[in-house]
Amino acid sequence: MNTANSPATAGTAPGRAGARRAYFGTGAVVAALGVAALTGCSAASLQAAGQGAGTASGAPAASAAPAASGASAAPATAGPGTATPPASAAPASGAVPVLGQLAGVFAQGQGFGQARPAKIFNGGDPTGLVTQVTWTSWGGPQAIGSGTSEYVGPGQSVATGTAETATVVAFHLGHCHGTLMYKAVEWYFPQQGQAFDPTHYENICTGSYVPGP
């Protein structure tokens, strides 16, 4: 994962360097990600529902829409190495969570406090920026998206990074100061051998890195 740098401080080196979430096996200082579980109807339940009612479209029962209670179907299967998130309750019916809030070291960021933001920026160097984000899931315990960010490999400087496709994961769904939000976010580069790590992330409720620098 590409190391997202802490917001730049005049006269100091960036808070993070190397692959954005390169704290997975690179020793770079990083933010750690704790995770909420993917939930959804089981194939057996959907099949039973389909036999009882059927659909006008003729689509397989497994593709049925999420229940009206507001629980989201599980997002697309994650790639190899993805950690299995622990169980987590789905949001209340009708509630639409936002992606954290502008706070702490991310107070000058972008995309926080919004639902399904197309751009996320933690206020630091380019490794902390993801653009053209398209969300394939939103509203369940974990939201998954894909966007473009700067990948910095081991031994590289930020100046020599390259723009690559990144997987974005928003999780830790819950209330922060009375607002329903994803309280954590992380992105990484599967094509570079990186995987989702539930122990490093940006805490976008308090505006801090986990673990801290």
Name the pairing type of β-strands 179-188 and 98-99: parallel
Name the DSSP letter for residue 111.
Answer: S
Instruction: Specify whether 183 is located in the same domain as 208.
Output: yes
Instruction: Specify whether 149 is located in the same domain as 53.
Output: no
For 11-55, write each residue's pLDDT tens digit: 333 333 333 433 333 333 333 333 333 334 333 333 433 444 333
Instruction: Specify whether 196 is located in the same domain as 146.
Output: yes
Number of domains in the chain: 2
For 157-205, write each residue's pLDDT tens digit: 999 999 999 999 999 999 999 999 999 999 999 999 999 998 999 999 9
Instruction: Specify whether 32 is located in the same domain as 63.
Output: no
Read off the tokens for 152: 């910095």
User: How far apart, in Å, are the Cα atoms of 71 and each of 65, 179, 199?
Assistant: 10, 18, 25
Whole-angstrom distance, CA of residue 79 vs CA of residue 71: 23
Instruction: Specify whether 67 is located in the same domain as 100.
Output: no
Q: Which amino acid is at 94?
A: G
For 82-129, write each residue's pLDDT tens digit: 443 443 444 555 789 999 999 999 999 999 999 999 999 999 999 999
Instruction: Specify whether 105 is located in the same domain as 209.
Output: yes
Instruction: Specify whether 107 is located in the same domain as 31.
Output: yes
Instruction: Specify whether 52 is located in the same domain as 117.
Output: no
Whole-angstrom distance, CA of residue 170 vs CA of residue 185: 4
Whole-angstrom distance, CA of residue 161 vs CA of residue 201: 21
- Asked whether the bond before 211 is cis by omega within 30 degrees of 0, the reply is yes
Instruction: Specify whether 28 is located in the same domain as 133.
Output: yes
Instruction: Specify whether 99 is located in the same domain as 24.
Output: yes
Instruction: Specify whether 67 is located in the same domain as 22.
Output: no
Residues spanned by the domain of 118: 1-39+75-213
Read off the tokens for 139: 């509203």
Question: Domain boundary residue among 57, 73, 89?
Answer: 73
For the chain, the first-to-last Cα distance in angstroms comes to 16
φ, ψ of residue 127 to 5 degrees: the values are -70, -15
Instruction: Specify whether 26 is located in the same domain as 102.
Output: yes
pTM for the whole thing? 0.60
Mention every residue, 6+ apart, whose C-beta is less than 8 A from residue 174.
Answer: 180, 181, 183
Closest CA to 139 of 95, 201, 179: 95
